[in-house]
Amino acid sequence: MSDGLAGVEGTEFHIEITERYAAHNYHPLPVVLASGEGAWVTDVDGNRYLDCLAGYSALNFGHSHPRLVARAQQQLGTLTLTSRAFFNDQLGPFALALSELTGKEMMLPMNSGAEAVETALKVSRKWGYQVKGVPENQANIIVMEGNFHGRTTTIISFSDDKVAHDNYGPYTPGFRAVTYGDIEAVRAAVDEHTVAVLFEPIQGEGGVVIPPEGFLRDLRELCTQENVLMVADEIQSGLGRTGKTFACDHEGVVPDLYILGKALGGGLYPVSAVCADRDVLGVITPGSHGSTFGGNPLAAAIGHEVVLMLLEGEFQERAARLGARLEAGLSALVGHGLRAVRVRGLWAGLDVEPGGPSGRELCKALSQRGILAKDTHGMTIRLAPPICITEEEVDLLVDTVREIVTASAS
């Protein structure tokens, strides 16, 4: 390397060149990962870690799942990209399988989660104008306080996270934020120009915040009564993470639109989609929306394999069973370094007792003991291990968290 950076390419080397040449839009823990298999990753210095973030649920199936890697390698040597100017032999089977998984009639493929959210917003507005009959440019969409749906200029326009929001204006109008989990607040915000309610069934970035029991059922009923689209962002919560295929399934609720991403690409490739019935997605016509890479053969092949794995049901069962074990272990720590614990499947938010180390400091301490996790909002730790984690590894996670938080509380 030039600039005096030649030498052993260990942790310090990689951190230095990354900090020097890559924009500082993230503040990573000082761990430089080089390989992964299953629930484990290894850094450039040979240290192993239990990955309990799993790429914010993108790695629900673990690192380098052999079935997904084999399918990706097969397609990689066959055909990767055509653009949607032509059909390809992978998109149709993927669309059919995803429609079976969601129970919806159509899907629209994109790449990143944020692109899928933007797609859902556009579909909702166009449906509002063409189907519901809302006057031009008068549509409004209700969103939830504490939301996280991505970082495009439109999406951050309705974010109340100052770091994500501030200094990016002017902002996109047409959104009304209400208290998450408060059905009466939603009801009060709906008017004749409301076209959709966009929500996360569980707020991941917010700290794995679970709404009150019955909120999703009440929201479904309200949206039906008011002829408003119920739009569920299941990018982090969906595809097995919570012990069900979708987090909405915990209340037996089916939204009008599913927004999917992250795990849909198996941790190998960015794959996202919006799924809905024909009377909703039918408003999209040729040229009105698209993506060069959306629905490409490689993405479709990987996404199809992911869906086939989920249709077998094993991952949902594992997340439910191992999530119960995780919850039992973590709940015992409330009052012993933790103020509150929220668990749904293999997804947990841990609120740290105030006055002690911050969430980041505790995550750094966890990493030094071989556990990778991520903090949010200062005093909350998020855990989302791959669903391929074993009972012994769940116990290792709980025991290590116990050591760290109890030591910090003493």
DSSP characters over 6-58: -S--SHHHHHHHHHHHS--S----S--EEEEEBTEEEETTS-EEEESSHHHHT
pTM above 0.95, yes or no: yes
Per the structure, how many domains does the chain have? 2
Give the tens place of pLDDT for each residue, 23-71: 999 999 999 999 999 999 999 999 999 999 999 999 999 999 999 999 9
In the predicted model, residues of the chain with pLDDT beneath 70 are 1-8
| Nearest residue to 315 via CA among 72, 99, 65, 75 | 65
Can you give the CATH number for the domain in which 108 is found?
Answer: 3.40.640.10
Give me the pLDDT at residue 356, please. 87
pLDDT of residue 27: 94
Which residue out of 51, 262, 351, 374 is catalytically annotated?
262
* Last residue in a domain, options 262, 281, 311: 311
396: domain range? 11-64+315-409
pLDDT at residue number 3: 45
Judge contact between 263 and 60, C-beta under 8 A: yes
Known catalytic residue: 233? yes
Same domain (yes/no): 215, 361: no
How many CB atoms sit inside 10 A of residue 406's CB? 13
Q: Which of 251, 284, 311 is the last residue of a domain?
A: 311
pLDDT score, position 228: 98
Q: What is the per-residue pLDDT for 5?
A: 45
Q: Kindly state whether residues 36 and 49 are assigned to the same domain.
A: yes
202 and 291 co-located in one domain: yes
The answer to whether the beta carbons of residues 346 and 322 sit under 8 Å apart is yes
Please tell me whether residues 119 and 232 are part of one structural domain: yes
The question of whether 399 is a catalytic residue gets the answer no
| 73 and 161 fall within a common domain | yes
Q: So what's the pLDDT on residue 8? A: 61
For residues 257 and 128, is the Cβ–Cβ distance under 8 A?
Answer: no
> Could you tell me if 372 and 290 lie in one domain?
no
pLDDT tens, position by position, 228-266: 999 999 999 999 999 999 999 999 999 999 999 999 999
Q: What pLDDT, on a 0 to 100 scale, did the predictor assign at position 9?
A: 86
Contact 268, 69 (CB under 8 A): yes
Residue 43: which residues within 8 A CB-CB, separation 6 or more? 11, 31, 32, 33, 34, 49
What's residue 7's pLDDT?
46
Same domain, 99 and 231: yes
Q: How far apart are CA 26 and CA 160, in angstroms?
A: 19
Contact assessment for residue 195 and residue 134, using Cβ atoms and an 8 Å cutoff: yes
Looking at the fold, whether 15 and 27 belong to one and the same domain comes out as yes
Same domain? For 227 and 127 the reply is yes
Residues 218 and 263 in one domain: yes
Which member of 43, 51, 233, 256 is catalytic? 233
Give the CATH number for residue 17.
3.90.1150.10
Residue 86 among the catalytic residues: no
Say how far residue 71 (Cα) sits from the centre of its chain.
23
Does residue 287 sit in the same domain as residue 374? no
Check whether residue 293 and residue 394 sit in a common domain: no
